[in-house]
């Protein structure tokens, strides 16, 4: 078996914000690795910290940051050590690009989309004519008619706007593309088309993705590995095949049971209760999922579980304390 090449390594990453009523621990001691040509899906309910994790990796930080520390290493280079200007010039868009949640609002309404997609290239010094030629090629690649380079964002459908955003993320041939709920505003057919496009690009260009989403069904097509976040922490990281057959963590089991199936008579489950507030979550001594967990034991409420490593999979839950294998 060939050894997988680590592209991105995240070590003890924290991103906490200060608001009037306290500190929001949006990303709270996160560790994971992402391999080259891998699609990692980050799953979780709204407010679990997944978008903050994407922003922390890209250093897109709001003004009210209280704590931002840990280690982010891309291809052996520690990116949190870099000063802002170097990071902007070397990493953001060039090595890590992002397809945002709502491409429509992220595109400039008064600029032609071709010029916007060309911008990362012209900023790097490429001649405008040559850059627009590259945009034409990229549009062809992602299924946008070439003459759309002269259109404005408001003239495009939701699916086409998302394709333009993907073209923009790909134009600099980055090492990693972060996709933040890239299909949430689209109809089901367009969602499937975009997922197929991402799959094709991954195969043809050796692309690596970190896909942030709450949509298990759509992301299952693309995922090589699934990471589940809860209350600012990673609670499970599993190979996709195992995860979709047999998730490990009680929260992951609930997430999977809440996905409608095409066939079968299983009743859909709802996850009772709400995710905890991230303000002062560090004061919770035990497992952060305990108030909603059907498997809760006495120790769950007094001591936070460690992360158990089972082969290629990790799970943060006391149920796996004495299990050598995941079954
Ligand atoms: Fe449930 Fe306990 Fe596992 Fe937390 S540690 S998920 S409360 S069984």
**Ligand 1 pocket residue status of 250, Cβ below 6 Å:** yes
179-192 residue pLDDT tens: 998 887 777 877 88
For ligand 1, atom 5: residue with the closest CA = 317
The mean of the pLDDT values for the chain is 89
Report all structural domains of the chain as residue ranges with CATH numbers, in order of start.
6-95+174-275 (3.40.50.300), 103-172 (no CATH)
Residue 296 beta carbon below 6 angstroms from any ligand 1 atom? yes
pLDDT at 232: 96
pLDDT at 1 over 60: no
Atom in ligand 1 nearest the alpha carbon of residue 250: 6
Distance 226 CA to ligand 1 centre (A): 19
Per DSSP, the chain holds a count of helices (H) and strands (E) of: 10, 12
User: How is 142-175 classified by DSSP, letter by letter?
Assistant: HT--GGGGGS-GGGS-HHHHHHHHHHHHHTT--S
Which structure tokens are listed for 286? 């035990």
DSSP β-ladder status, 209-213 and 39-43 = parallel
Residue 233: closest CA among 50, 66, 51, 69: 50
> Which residue from 161, 177, 166 is spatially nearest to 92, judged by alpha carbons?
177
For residue 189 the two structure tokens come to 């057919």
DSSP 243-310: HHH---SHHHHHHHHTS--SS--PPPP---S-PPPSBTGGG--S-TTGGG-TT--GGGGTS---PEEE
**317 CB near ligand 1 (under 6 Å):** yes
From the CA of 293, how far away is ligand 1's center (Å)? 6
- Give the atom of ligand 1 at the shortest distance from the alpha carbon of 301: 7
How many A from CA of 225 to the centre of ligand 1? 22
26-42 confidence digits (pLDDT tens): 999 999 999 999 999 99
Best mean pLDDT range from 8-17, 139-148, 199-208: 8-17
- Of 106 and 242, the structure prediction assigns the larger pLDDT to 242
**How many C-beta atoms lie closer than 10 Å to residue 7's C-beta?**
22
Whether pTM exceeds 0.85: yes
Q: Is 297 in the pocket of ligand 1 (CB under 6 A)?
A: yes
Q: Among the atoms of ligand 1, which is closest to the Cα of residue 318? A: 5
Residue range 123-140: mean pLDDT, rounded: 92
- Ligand 1 atom closest to residue 297's alpha carbon, by position in its atom list: 2
């Amino acid at each position: 078996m060939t050894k997988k090449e680590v592209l991105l390594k995240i070590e003890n990453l924290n991103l906490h914000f200060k608001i009037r009523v306290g500190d929001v621990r949006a990303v709270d001691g996160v560790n994971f690795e992402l391999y080259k040509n891998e699609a990692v899906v980050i799953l979780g309910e709204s407010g679990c910290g997944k978008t903050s994790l994407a922003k922390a990796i890209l250093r897109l930080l709001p003004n009210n940051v209280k704590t931002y520390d840990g280690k982010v290493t891309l291809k052996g280079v520690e990116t949190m050590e870099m000063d802002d200007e170097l990071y902007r010039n070397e990493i953001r868009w060039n090595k890590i690009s992002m397809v945002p949640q709502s491409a429509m609002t992220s595109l400039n309404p008064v600029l032609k989309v071709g010029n916007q997609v060309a911008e990362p290239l012209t900023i790097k010094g490429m001649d405008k004519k040559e850059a627009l030629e590259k945009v034409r090629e990229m549009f062809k690649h992602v299924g946008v008619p070439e003459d759309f380079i002269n259109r404005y964002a408001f003239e495009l459908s939701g699916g086409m706007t998302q394709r333009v955003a993907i073209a923009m993320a790909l134009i600099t041939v980055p090492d990693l593309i972060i996709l933040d709920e890239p299909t949430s505003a689209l109809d089901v057919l367009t969602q499937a088309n975009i997922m197929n496009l991402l799959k094709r690009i991954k195969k043809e260009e050796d692309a690596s993705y970190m896909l942030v989403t709450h949509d298990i069904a759509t992301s299952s097509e693309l995922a090589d590995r699934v990471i589940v976040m809860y209350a600012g922490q990673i609670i499970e990281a599993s190979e996709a095949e195992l995860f979709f057959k047999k998730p490990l963590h009680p929260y992951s089991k609930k997430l999977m049971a809440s996905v409608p199936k095409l066939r079968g008579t299983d009743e859909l489950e709802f996850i009772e209760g709400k995710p905890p507030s991230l303000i002062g979550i560090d004061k919770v001594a035990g497992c952060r999922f305990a108030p909603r967990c059907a498997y809760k034991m006495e120790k769950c409420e007094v001591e936070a579980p460690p992360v158990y490593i089972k082969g290629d999979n990790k799970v943060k839950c006391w149920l796996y304390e004495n299990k050598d294998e995941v079954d």
